[in-house]
Amino acid sequence: MPLEIQLPGQTNGSTGRIVGIDLGTTNSLVAYVDHGVAKIIEGADGPLVPSVVTLDDYGAVMAVGNSARERAMVEASHTVYSVKRLMGKSFQDVKKESGMLSYRLVPADEGLIRIQIGTKLYTPIELSSFVLLELKKRAEAYLEEPVTRAVITVPAYFNDAQRHATKDAGRLAGLDVLRIVNEPTAAALAYGLDRKNDGTVAVYDFGGGTFDISILKIKNGIFEVLSTNGDTYLGGDDIDRRLMELFISQIQHMAPAFTPTPEQLQKIRRVAEQTKVGLSSAGHMVVEINLPEIGIAYRRNITLQELERIAKSVIERTRKPCEDALRDAKVTAEDLDEVVLVGGSTRMPMVKALVHEIFERAPHDELNPEETVALGAAIQADVLAGQTKDVLLLDVTPLSLGIETMGGMMSTIIPRNTTIPTKVTETYTTFADNQTGVEVNVFQGERDFVHDNRHLASFTLKGIPPLPAGAAKVEVTFLIDADGILQVHARETHTGIEQEVEVKPSNGLTDEEIERMLRESIEQAPADIAARRMVEAKTEAQRLLGATEKVLGQLRRGQLSISAAKLKQIDVASVIDALYALRRAANSNDVPEIVKLHEALERATEPLAHEIMNASLAEALTGKTVEQV
C-alpha cells in the first residue's frame, strides 16, 4: 500500500493541478495531493515506473517502464536504463564503466554524452523525457484531466548543467517544470509534515544512481537546509555492477572464451539486482544464482555475508560526505533529532548499520524509502498551487560561486551552503585607464585562484566610458533561483549599460572533481592564502605605480594646476625614490617588503595628492555662488 501523508494547513481550491515527480535512476514515481492528503499515483502494474526505455532503429518508442524492462532481455542494445546517471555528464566521465552497459555510449562534439540506438543518437535529456511523458500519461489517466505542470526532484548535488537538463527533459515531455527540488529536502518535507515535528534532521538518500546527505532544521513549517553533500555517481547500480563483474569472471573461468552479448549482459544484470534485493529487502541469508539463459550452466549460492563484503567499499563511500555535512552544518550527531532514510538502497541491513554508526542513533525507516521523495514533491507542488499553507523551503547551494579578478584570483560572491534562492551584488572597478570593456568570467569552487576551480561562463560588458583606472564602477549580481540555477548580471553605474547570462555549462562536474574541490580547499588553504597575499600585494603595487607615474608625467608637462610655490613644498625627489624602490620590490616575491614600500610611496605622494585635490576643487568651484554649491 503506497504511503499517504495528511497535510496541515491545506485549503481547497481550483487553481490547477500540479503533480510531484521523482525522476529516479532505477524507478520513477508521480504523486499529487488530494484534499490534504499526498498520494502516489498507481498504474495497473503498481506505483513504480522503472526508468527504462526501449526504442526501435527509427526513433519510435516501443516501451517505457515495466514493459521496457522485460524487452531488455531480448532487445538489450535498444533498451536504455540508469540514464539519470548520464545527465550532464561527458563521455570521459563514464567511459570506464560503459563496458558494463548493454547499450552504446558515444561522445558528442560539445562534450556531452550520447546514446546510440540503431543509427540514431539520443541525449540523456531526450530519454528522460520519455519516462516523464509516461508519468504524465499515468497521472492524466488517473486524474482524468490534463496535467501540464510539475515539480521534479533532483539529487542535492546536481549542478547547473544537470538541473537544466532535468528542466529541459520536462519541457520535452510537455510539462511546465515550476520548481526543481532537492530530493533530501522533498523527503524531509514529507517526513516533517507527516509528524509535525520541529528539530534537526539528517536525510540519508541512497538511491540507484546517486547519494545525498542533507542536514535540515525544521521549525514552524520552515525547512532550512543547513548543509548538503554527496556523490552524483554513487548508488545501488554500483553494487549491481560489482555482482555482475563477479558472475562474469566466474563464468569466464569456466568458459574462457565467454564474452557476453548485450542480451546476456542484461540477464546477468537482472540476476545481480534480484540477488541484491533478495538478500536485502526480502531478508534472505542465502540466494541461489541460476543463469541457464546464457548458454553456460552457471549456478551457485551467494550469502548475505558475501554480498556485504562485495558492497562494503561502495557503501563506505557514503561515510565521508556524512561527516562533512555535519561539520559544514556546525552540528554533531548528538544534536540531531532524527535520521531519515530515503532511496531503495537504504533497505540493505549494512546501510542501516553504517547510518546508525555515523549518526549514533537508529535511523527512521518507517516511511517507504522509494515513495517519500515523490510525496514531498507533491506537497511542494501543492504549496505552489496555493493550497498548502505555512510551508517554506530554504535550500542551499553546494559549491561557492564567484568571478575572476586581477591576478587570476577568485572573488567569491556566493559562498557554498548559502541558502537559496539568493541574490548578491558586489561592486568592482577597472584596472587600467580608458578601459571600455570588462570581461566577466564566472567560476565554481573553493580555491583562491580560478585555475583551481571550474569555469562556468564568460561574457563581456562593453561600452564603459573611458575613465581613469578605478573610476568606473561595475556592479556584478549573482542570482540563484529556487531551482538552484544561476544568473549573472553586470551593470556599469555611470552609463547604466548592462549584460546578463544564464549559466548553462556544457557538462557537469564529475564526482571526483567535486570531492577534489572540497578536499583541496582545506588542504591547500595555507598555500592559497600566501599566494593570494602575494598577488594582492603585487596588484596593488602596480596600481599605485601606474597612478604615480601618470601624475609625475603630467607634472613634467605642466598639465597640473599647482602653483610654483606649492610645488617647491613637495619633495618630488622623495616620490621618485620611493617609486623606484617599490618597482624593484614588485618584481620580487617578498610580500612584507612590497607592503612596506607600498606604504612608503603612499606617504611620499600624500602631499602631492593633497595639492592636486585642492587644485581640482578650486577649479570646480570657480564662478559658482554659495547657493550653487
The grid coordinates listed for 65 are: 517502464
Whole-angstrom Cα distance, residue 159 to residue 337?
29
Beta carbons of 263 and 76 less than 8 angstroms apart? yes
* Phi/psi of residue 348, nearest 5 degrees: -70, 130
The continuous run of DSSP H or E covering 501 comes out as: strand 498-502
Four-residue CA torsion sign, 163, 164, 168, 169: negative
Beta carbons of 305 and 263 less than 8 angstroms apart? no
DSSP line for 464-492: -----TTTSEEEEEEEE-TTS-EEEEEEE
Could you tell me which residues are beta bridge partners of residue 460?
439
Active site (annotated) includes residue 84: yes
Could you tell me which residues are beta bridge partners of residue 338?
201
Q: Helix, strand or coil for residue 90?
A: strand
The continuous run of DSSP H or E covering 254 comes out as: helix 236-254
Could you tell me which residues are beta bridge partners of residue 388?
10
Active site (annotated) includes residue 34: no
Spatial CA neighbour of 512 closest among 355, 238, 317, 322? 317
Beta carbons of 55 and 83 less than 8 angstroms apart? no
Sheet bearing 409-414, strands edge to edge: 409-414, 401-405, 437-444, 454-462
Active-site choice (75, 168, 194, 205): 205
Whole-angstrom Cα distance, residue 149 to residue 176?
5
Whole-angstrom Cα distance, residue 429 to residue 253?
68
- Give the amino acid at 356: H
Burial label, 121 (beta-carbon count in 10 A; 0-12, 13-18, 19+): middle
Active-site choice (93, 126, 160, 183): 183
Active-site choice (39, 75, 84, 382): 84
Residue 197, C-beta contacts closer than 8 angstroms, at least 6 positions apart: 218, 337, 338
Query: Is the bond preceding residue 398 a cis peptide, omega within 30 degrees?
Result: no
| Residue that has been written with the C-alpha cell 598639465 in this structure | 559
Residue 295, C-beta contacts closer than 8 angstroms, at least 6 positions apart: 264
- Give the amino acid at 192: G
| Residue that has been written with the C-alpha cell 532505477 in this structure | 26
Rg (CA), the chain: 30
Sheet bearing 498-502, strands edge to edge: 422-429, 473-480, 486-492, 498-502
Q: How many CA atoms lie within 13 A of 525 on its CB side?
A: 6
> Which residues are catalytic, by number?
22, 84, 183, 205
